[in-house]
């Protein structure tokens, strides 16, 4: 003899109870503490170190470039507080150029040209 599994039909009352139980669970859940929320500052926390993984090399990178090299320059600059994280978009534009020049001026013997060559790459990774 084959038995069919009996399944009680869902009623509007059962669905309403399920929604109420879910709502109660969400209301009872503790709010995220200040430490768990995203920081208000557009920069990574102090001492976070580099969290970039777009490019590892020393090819010249300069104004107008797009892609992984530009993203890597921007990420490294953002980690070092020369560029806001909101500017990490993979395009080496005027804001990135100014940030590179400030970084280079702060790290002699680099010349603040805005060109990210092998010496600037090395300084970005090791600053």
Q: Tokens 């070092």 label which residue?
A: 80
Nearest to 83 by CA among 66, 100, 69, 105: 100
- Confidence at residue 111, expressed as pLDDT on a 0 to 100 scale: 96
pTM: 0.61
Tokens representing residue 115 in the block:
């060109």
pLDDT digits (tens, 9 = 90+) for 9-59: 555 555 555 555 545 555 555 544 433 333 333 444 454 445 677 888 889
Identify the band that residue 3 occupies on the pLDDT scale cut at 50, 70 and 90: low
State residue 44's pLDDT score: 45
pLDDT surpassing 60 at residue 119: yes
Q: What is the pLDDT of residues 57-102, one digit of tens each?
A: 889 999 999 999 999 999 999 999 999 999 999 999 999 999 999 9
């Amino acid at each position: 003899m084959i038995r069919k599994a009996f399944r009680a039909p869902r009623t509007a009352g059962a669905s309403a109870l399920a929604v109420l139980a879910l709502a109660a669970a969400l209301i009872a859940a503790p709010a995220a503490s200040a430490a768990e929320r995203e920081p208000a500052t557009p920069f990574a926390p102090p001492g976070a170190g580099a969290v970039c993984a777009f490019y590892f090399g020393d090819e010249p990178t300069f104004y107008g470039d797009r892609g992984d090299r530009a993203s890597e320059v921007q990420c490294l600059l953002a980690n070092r507080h020369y560029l806001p994280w909101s500017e990490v978009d993979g395009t080496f534009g005027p804001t990135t150029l100014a940030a590179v020049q400030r970084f280079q001026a702060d790290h002699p013997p680099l010349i603040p040209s805005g060109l990210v060559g092998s010496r600037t790459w090395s300084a970005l990774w090791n600053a």
